[in-house]
């Protein structure tokens, strides 16, 4: 059985990170490119929000006995296979995991335009995932 307190804590952390992204993301790409501190804050909170989704998915998959995931991506595919999230949302979350991996492993070579784009237009997938988890498990 899924532990609601863990779900609630993960969701609160994800939402806090998304709020920080919105607060610190400037209104234009140009401003973003000029402000290293904002870049770091936005990128860190994006990574944390995505990691929170991964952790939440892993918790649900484990507690529900949905199988073993061989990668972070597979947690979302396992949720999709069980009808917890739709295919399109699973794909969005897999792309989010890919973005998180770029941030973590390729930080020095990361395209800041892509970071700004994700922070401006890429939060909907995370929000949709959180909404499903709240409706189902919180």
Instruction: Write down the domain spans for the chain.
Output: 4-137
pLDDT of residue 105: 85
Structure-model confidence comparison of residues 84 and 110, the more confident one: 84
**Which pTM was predicted?**
0.94
97: left (phi over 0), alpha (psi -120 to 50) or beta: alpha
Read off the pLDDT of each residue in 11-23 and give the average, rounded to a whole number.
97
Handedness of CA 62, 2, 15, 119 (dihedral sign): positive
**Torsion over CA: 115, 128, 95, 121 (sign):** negative
Rounded to whole angstroms, the Cα distance separating 29 from 26 reads 7
Domain 4-137 homologous superfamily, CATH: bsu32300-like (1.20.120.580)
What's the whole-number average pLDDT of the chain? Answer: 94
- Cα–Cα distance measured from residue 37 to residue 25, given in angstroms and rounded to the nearest whole number: 10
């Amino acid at each position: 059985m899924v532990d609601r307190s863990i779900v609630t804590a993960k969701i609160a952390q994800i939402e806090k990170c998304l709020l920080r992204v919105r607060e610190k993301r400037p209104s234009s790409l140009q401003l973003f490119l000029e402000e290293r501190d904002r870049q770091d804050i936005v990128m860190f909170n994006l990574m944390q929000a995505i990691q929170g989704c991964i952790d939440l998915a892993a918790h649900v998959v484990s507690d529900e006995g949905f199988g073993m995931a061989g990668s972070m991506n597979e947690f979302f595919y396992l949720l999709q296979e069980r009808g917890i999230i739709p295919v399109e949302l699973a794909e969005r979350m897999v792309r989010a995991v890919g973005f998180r991996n770029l941030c973590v492993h390729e930080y020095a070579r990361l395209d800041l335009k892509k970071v700004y784009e994700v922070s401006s237009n890429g939060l909907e997938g995370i929000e949709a995932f959180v909404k499903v988890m709240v409706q189902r498990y919180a």
